[in-house]
Structure 1
Amino acid sequence: MSTFLSDLGKVLRKPLLLGSFIKSRRSKMIAGKLLQQHKTDPAKIVEEGYNQMASDYGQWTLSHARPDRGKYTQLIIDQLKSGADLLELGCGPGDPTTRTLAENFNVTANDISSSCLELAKKHAPSATLIQSDMTSLEFPGDSFDAVVAFYSFHHVPRERYQPLLNDIASWLRPGGKFISAMYPYDVENLVTTEGWHGSNMYWSSYGEEKTLELIEAAGLKVLSTSRESAIEANKETTFLWVVAERPAA
């Protein structure tokens, strides 16, 4: 997603570099215990961060177009029938993903940031937009033919991954697809200041093996996985793309 995430990934693969990373970024890292001690709300950090950077982030997304974003957007278009019901979790400013999906499907798009949703409304006027922490969403069972989450899961506390994945599985119709780009490193309750478009931000994720275990535990069948890398600002960033399915009854 950015030079920042690229550098963070390198640090997580080489823990001894963490001190220099913090120093070079002038970034404050707050572990899980400190989050509890200071009663920091991860959702509020994410909401305020993206409200602050919404316009800048939207422009950056377009100017740093990742090939994998387009690749998996096209995969969704190829696999779903026109007019299918689709839920997007963490839609951000809505361009290009939400806009493209809404041109083909009946899209419900969620984001925690009201500023991002204001932009998404302009880019995808036909989409139904919902402002909410994605872990608080409620839908009837069998509501969607697909649920997608591009680069958004790592802003959810990882202890909430399983309940959220359980919800996703229940929202999908039999044969429905879950497609997501997930951060493939072990990150526990990390808060950074600066470094991510000048805003505070919260990060949390499991490694690849644990992530896939949770998806399977939710009752979804993993159809494919792929680590997709792209060069952004002369540095490589990598995400784990997962395509899973709710088995047909």
Structure 2
Amino acid sequence: MTAPHVAILDDEPEIRRMLAETLTEAGFRTTTYGRATEFEAALKRTAFDACLVDLGLPDRDGLALVHRLALESGAAIIIISGRAQVQDRVTGLELGADDYIIKPFDPAEVVARLRARLRKPRAEAAPAAQIAHFAGWRAAFDRYVLIDAEGRETPFSHAEGEVLRLFLDAPNRLLTRAQMQENLGGIAGESFDRAMDVRISRLRTKLGEDPKNPRLIKTIYGAGYIFLGEVRWE
């Protein structure tokens, strides 16, 4: 099986070198970039499995880049930043990042977080199942798009896809926040709750749900969420 390909975007050469060496030793393939323009050019010809993104870039707003990646890429996105304020972490997660690591960091932690993000949540199911059919919708996880009954496509981010897949793997069953956090990993406490609320809200919008009375993704207050409907995988 091909090793996961990780893009490392950081303007500090020493950090790029250290991360590349650590990840290579851990079995990942890596490509490093010091500027956002180089990285964005590479995105046109390379599909990365994960992207490590520093927010303090010299030529681009890091948060804007994270948001673009979340909308246009199927890669897992991990922010690595010296910004330690809670609001910075929450904003990064709301814009579509899967995780947030604060500098200075232990390289071993980055490896662990990457493995958690790239872990397949449906290990017990047939690995070839990439398209789910439910309530007149198709979710194509190989292309990260939702397809309605008329064939119109709506893209979803890697982070939104992780949440949607959890629901589609366990239809008509209560998923507690603790269970969701255990499966998704990497994010803790208030930041996880806020990020989860945002991702579920975006999924409901893309599925055309009434926010006051959603028919598919129901909130069970004080307990968690339940996805109502029959699901068929292919």
Answer 1 or 2: higher relative contact order, Cα 8 Å, separation at least 6.
1
TM-score by length of 2: 0.35
TM-score by length of 1: 0.33
- Name the structure with the higher helix share: 1
